Structure 1
Amino acid sequence: MWQVIARNIRNDIAAGRLRHGQQLPSTRELATLYGVSVDPVSRAMTELANEGLVINRDRAGRIVNNPDAEATAAPTTPVVPQVILIGGYAGSGKTELGRILARRTHWPMLDKDTTTRPVVEAALERLGIAPSDRESDVYLNVIRPTEYEALIATMSENVSCGSSAIVTAPFIRELADRAWCERIAATVGSMNAELHVIWVRCDEPTMKSYIKQRGAARDSHKLANWDAYVANVNLSFAPAISHTVIDNSADAAPLQEQADELLQRLAQQQR
């Protein structure tokens, strides 16, 4: 668990959720948040301090140390617009990866939940269904398809203006459907842009930790029925289209390093 906790906090720092100089919760508060004893939290903090990402201050708690991220980098403007489509199961770290890439490139980030959640929750409530519902037939067969339609339309509008875009959503049904993959590739290609599909792979303990940490109401059903939920998670899932796998498991390379490698490959392809 100490590796999972260290990775979560490291990713939040890289993604900008934890900013330079921000004070972190206490050891006991973090232990409560992750549902563990104080020992794995202390070990995680020691690891992050050794990496220079956290500074321990006597009697004043810990603060984030990431000054380089606050410097304004020049936006990357490729000759050909790039579409980075990032999929993964809940808690895999796909949004964190999207945020890291957006901070590196200054390309717009389009996240499904951020883009559509208020409308989805209002629609579900109007239909007499809990706003946090993500399991009913109404959500899965009526609401969910329109969420993805709106997300792809937003991406297309950006790309048609010559902008690159980073798009994050589970995309599980979509990326398993070869016909959908061919359509999205054709849509992006018709706008003289390049599509890059990323699948974020993650181990089960790290996924559960992410989901518990974010505390979103839409995840309550998953956490309450975790064993049944995980039984339907295919950890070896592979999209039905050419793609890159990013591993966000606890023992994998840091997510920010993998993000940098991905951007380097894209830059080389542009030359």
Structure 2
Amino acid sequence: MLETAFDNLRAGTSAILSAPFIAELNSPDWMSRLTDQCSAMGADVGVIWIRCDAASMRKHMEIRRATRDAWKLDNWAAYASSLDTDNSPSAAHISVDNRLGAATSLIDQTRHRLKRILA
């Protein structure tokens, strides 16, 4: 995924990666390398952390009906016990709230924060 993003950056095209990168975002060395690589290509790195609780995650998966979620839903107790929904990355980031019942929709929160990042 990163190599594809780097290919886009080298071609002068912005890239947005949608992946957890949980361990990586908690590694100052990884973030430093990523920031340096992107800076060398004239790009800035911005991290948006999507906050969600286990109940909301389950509902999103049920609605999505993706094959990749089948094991998680069939083994929800085991899967949910592996989640740390109170943790956010140590890297600088902007958070958006994806919990069910959030006061502002995920789309509106993300749009607002992206405007701040890109300004």
Pick from 244, 249, 258 the counterpart of residue 109 of structure 2: 258
Length-normalised TM-score, structure 1: 0.41
From the superposition, tell whether residues 192 and 259 of structure 1 become closer, same or farther in structure 2 (CA, over 3 Å). Answer: same
Indicate the RMSD between aligned Cα atoms, in angstroms. Answer: 1.4
- Unaligned 5+ segments in structure 2 are none
**Which whole-Å CA distance do the structure 2 matches of 1:182 and 1:203 have between them?**
29
From the superposition, tell whether residues 267 and 184 of structure 1 become closer, same or farther in structure 2 (CA, over 3 Å). Answer: closer
SS at 1:195's partner residue?
A: coil
Alignment deviations for residues 154-185 of structure 1 (CA, whole Å, 9 cap, x no partner):
00011111111111012122223232222211
Tell me which residue corresponds to 1:238.
Answer: 88
Which 4+ runs in 1 deviate beyond 4 A? none
Q: Is the 8 A contact 1:202 1:235 kept in 2?
A: yes
Pick from 85, 92, 98 the counterpart of residue 248 of structure 1: 98
Tell me which residue corresponds to 2:37.
Answer: 187
Alignment deviations for residues 126-147 of structure 1 (CA, whole Å, 9 cap, x no partner):
xxxxxxxxxxxxxxxxxxxxxx
Pick from 47, 56, 65 the counterpart of residue 206 of structure 1: 56
Tell me which residue corresponds to 1:6.
Answer: none
Aligned letter for 1:191? M
**1:11-160 pair list within 5 angstroms:** 151-160=1-10
**Which whole-Å CA distance do the structure 1 matches of 2:87 and 2:14 have between them?**
27
Aligned letter for 1:201? R
Pick from 75, 82, 95 the counterpart of residue 225 of structure 1: 75
**Which whole-Å CA distance do the structure 2 matches of 1:198 and 1:242 have between them?**
9
Q: Is the 8 A contact 2:54 2:83 kept in 1?
A: no
Per the TM alignment, residue 263 of structure 1 is displaced from its structure 2 partner at its CA by 2.6
Tell me which residue corresponds to 1:162.
Answer: 12
Q: Is the 8 A contact 2:26 2:90 kept in 1?
A: yes
- Unaligned 5+ segments in structure 1 are 1-150
Tell me which residue corresponds to 1:76.
Answer: none
Q: Is the 8 A contact 1:181 1:240 kept in 2?
A: no
Q: Is the 8 A contact 2:46 2:93 kept in 1?
A: yes
**Which whole-Å CA distance do the structure 1 matches of 2:117 and 2:23 have between them?**
26
**Which whole-Å CA distance do the structure 2 matches of 1:267 and 1:223 have between them?**
37
Question: Highest Rg: 1 or 2?
Answer: 1
- For CA contacts below 8 A with separation 6 or more, give which structure has more relative contact order: 2
**Which whole-Å CA distance do the structure 2 matches of 1:233 and 1:216 have between them?**
19
